[in-house]
Amino acid sequence: MLTKKIAIPKKVIFAFVLNNLSEEYNATIDIITASFGKNSSINLEDLFSKILESTRLIRAREASAVKLALATSTTRKGKGRFVAYKVTK
C-alpha cells in the first residue's frame, strides 16, 4: 500500500482489528470503543497495548481455571493416595 501511496484510514484499521477478535474480547472491545468515542484521537499503539493486556488477563484466567479444576478433581482413593484426574479442554 505504501508503494502505491494509498493510505488506510486509522478508523478502518481499528474496525478491522476489533471485528476480527473472538468473543473472549467482547468486554475489551466495548471498553475500547467507549474510550475512543469520548476521545477523538485514535492511537494504534494504545489499541494494540489494550488488546495485549486483555490477552494476558484472559490467559491468566484460563490458567487459574485449569488449576482450580485440577484441585477440585483430586480425590482420595485407596490407602492415603491422591489421584488427580486429567483435565482436557
| CB 65 within 8 Å of CB 31 | no
pLDDT of residue 80: 53
pLDDT of residue 29: 87
Domain spans in the chain, listed from the N-terminal domain onward: 10-84
pLDDT in tens, 12-29: 888 899 999 989 888 888
- Read off the pLDDT band of 82 (50, 70, 90): low
Rg (CA), the chain: 21
Q: Which SS3 state, helix, strand or coil, does residue 55 take?
A: helix
